[in-house]
Chains A and B, each alone.
Chain A
């Protein structure tokens, strides 16, 4: 079942058409503004009518998102957005359903719903704004906060090892897994467009700065002077190379099969051992290894880690229903009730067994 799209000849919509009249209430300077703008900019381009889009969220700063979009929206309760979205998508496969969640909402209280939504391959696009902190509750460490993080609830430093959201999504076998960054406007729009086009469970981690409680959490990759050395844009069927002109580097496996290492690629260097990215790979080994790379030893990969085509949850549900309706046409109340052993008591009290 395909998502209902705009008929040809309809006046094109603009980003502003997707924005509601509600006043946006995030802190000034919050990374969420950039993501909201990117999202609103992408929607007119994907060709889906706005009444056919639903944005579902849980609780947290990011979860205010639906109120700011002039689409259908459901602001749920903490952690449950993927489950709400699953119910909606199963009921109405023709809708395009987005989930907006955060690292606390999606990975802590709602972790179970997230992994099950991904494993089922429901066609839901889940955007996880990762700021590595609880913002709305005023600055506690989150499931993605680094060990040693000092927060209101961890004054001596967090003793918990963080989740790697991409590794989790890959392990749950989401059919689309990607990462982008709030301030990388073009890249973010590109990734959101790819997520919109994907049919199946799409998981997008977006590094998002919380300038109040965790300012600069991603500065090691977003600072202008570090961007080229600390990021690697991974692209399908392209070599994994990065770095400024004249200081190119590449990723390869040590000794051909060992851990990933960074190698310098001077002009004319042999690139045959440099890894190539394959987002369609059945074996998720490389994607998993990539998901764990981070500065200072490695560049942080951004882009689409995995994109494979598998039947969706809702297609399978409605496929079974369609088959049953073809095999048993004319289902009505009488056929519903007269199942099993049925007998009739006549006006004279005589009993006759009817074929059940």
Chain B
């Protein structure tokens, strides 16, 4: 820890703060995400609560130094329970003028600004659209600006390492990391271990480590930094933790569901942002018997999942909005054949290509109704990176227990955001029953004979003697499963398919109110708005205001008590990253008039935006 070397250095003042928001920004080739992740892991191991939010450019490598090429990583760490990466940054690290230009508006007044002075010259300034150097022209006077010649100092520190100049310059992010480790009194340990484990080139690992130590030494030696900061550990429940991103937790949840149900996991997906990392993650889990297929298109991803489900797999596909649209017809086939499939939609800003790397929650109504005919499907939604794990298990549980395709909604924010996640104990995981049948009653197998309680049909796997049967998209006769065009049969089957979904309401938890069970204002949320809503409510309650909150995991069907819960409040506020989709469903189902708060800017809500709406509604 820094304390050891502090004894030999000029004393610096240590200030204890509760929460810090740091944003790293630079060219997408500057190692921004890596730097952010190292800082995050170190904060996690130091016991802080934290939340991260990467901000990738849409282009993989836009021209260096340009505004579209700026990659960002925001993280917040604290000594209390937090839910978002923060509204405004306390510290902005900008590796070049473009990064400063794009991110300065999100730095709080008088926030700390760490700049790589070497990059603030001629061409780079021009590319970022600066006519004068902001370091010199006084435009940064409202901030504590530290212009540090990071490139020069890194080169100096590594001059005798025998690395190429390109390799040396690639180490400059570790210089900055070392400086921040000093400022926030962090240990090098986790990063040292990471370097030795993950960098194959020992000379580069050594170079990075030297840069890291040089950055720390610079912070200790220079008189510029009068203060270092301490963020105490947050109170965590005892247990084993890791930091997890949403799509990773989703993948883990799916594998856990396979282990819990005893059904092999077969995943079929077509690459699409921001869902591809689910495929990447699952492709690594071969020792768990996971089969991953990179399908030729979105339709094949859905139909091969149905083939896998027919064969007895826990079949899963993941996509984003455009892909969900393409899957529509095949999802209808899943409804008709009553096969268990989990369809993950990692939502992004649409319509069409929209903003692929930016977040939105505008696929809820597509999930509800984006199929021809009467084709109801259960819908669940993940509300935080860690929550993706349990939501995946719940989606699989419903699919397998009820023999039905289930839509799981996540989004581009929680997909790549991260938070500390307490590893669940096996006993906390749901039991996942399956409807396998191995022999027919009284001779003939009836594929559409149902469980009287769940209305699920049985699952007879190919390879089982005596249960040979045919399923398909044509309407089937109740019980026998023979092709049927009988009018009354179609009415009956349509009703059964709907009742099966409705009945799931009796098998999911009731909506629980956070706060008083009645009052003036209830916030109703779903999905990744959980973090910003939690932040807003915390603030308002600190001010003594009374706000209640329900956050939904199950969107179809809703928890059975939801209508009763909502009617106990004068106003219901529904913040959504769309133009009011849950709001429409609530109005339609319960005939109440909720208030919507809509944001479609490709960015999550700020807690402040929700807090202001709360104030507005409580004033009326």
Contacts and interface: CB of A to CB of B under 8 A. Distances in A.
B242 A343 contact: yes
Interface in B263-312: 264, 266, 268, 285-291, 293, 295-297, 299-300, 303-312
A310 interface: no
A337 B471 contact: no
A85 B310 CA distance: 10
Interface stretch (A71-79, A173-181, A234-242): A71-79
A87 B423 contact: no
Nearest to A117: B296
Given A112-B297, A113-B296, A351-B46, A50 B468 contact: yes
B236 A91 contact: no
Chain A CB within 10 Å, residue with most, of B303, B306, B313, B423: B303
B523 interface: no
A52 B466 CA distance: 11
B462 A88 contact: yes
A270 interface: no
A86 B296 CA distance: 11
A76 B238 contact: no
A87 B311 contact: yes
A269 interface: no
B591 interface: no
B256 interface: yes
A92 interface: yes
Contacts of B471: 73-75
Contacts of A75: 470-474
Contact of B310 (A49, A74, A356): A74
Contact of B312 (A83, A89, A91, A336): A91
A94 B240 contact: no
A225 interface: no
Nearest to B471: A74
A273 interface: no
Interface string B41-53: 1001111000000
Nearest to B255: A336
Interface string B427-455: 00100000000000000000000000000
A92 B190 contact: no
Contacts of A296: none
B464 interface: yes
B268 A337 contact: no
Contact of B241 (A328, A344, A347): A344
Nearest to B295: A83
A324 B286 contact: yes
Given A90-B266, A345-B236, A77 B303 contact: yes
A141 B311 CA distance: 36
B45 A90 contact: no
B446 to A, nearest CB: 13
A4 B461 CA distance: 14
Contacts of A341: 41, 44-45, 190, 194, 242-243
B128 interface: no
Given A75-B474, A324-B287, A88 B308 contact: yes
A54 interface: yes
B522 interface: no
Given A73-B469, A77-B330, A324-B286, A84 B242 contact: no
B266 A76 contact: no
B45 A351 contact: yes
B179 to A, nearest CB: 22
Contacts of A77: 303, 329-330, 333, 473
13 contacts: A49-B465, A73-B472, A76-B306, A91-B312, A95-B462, A333-B256, A339-B242, A341-B45, A342-B242, A345-B237, A349-B47, A351-B45, A351-B46
Closest 10 CB pairs of A and B: A75-B472, A87-B307, A87-B304, A324-B286, A73-B470, A91-B311, A88-B307, A83-B300, A84-B307, A72-B462
Given A113-B300, A333-B429, 10 more contacts: A50-B468, A51-B468, A73-B471, A87-B315, A318-B291, A341-B41, A344-B241, A345-B238, A347-B238, A351-B233
Interface of A: 4, 20, 22, 49-52, 54, 56, 59, 66-67, 69-77, 80, 83-92, 94-95, 112-113, 116, 317-318, 320-321, 323-325, 327-329, 331-334, 336-347, 349, 351, 353-354, 356
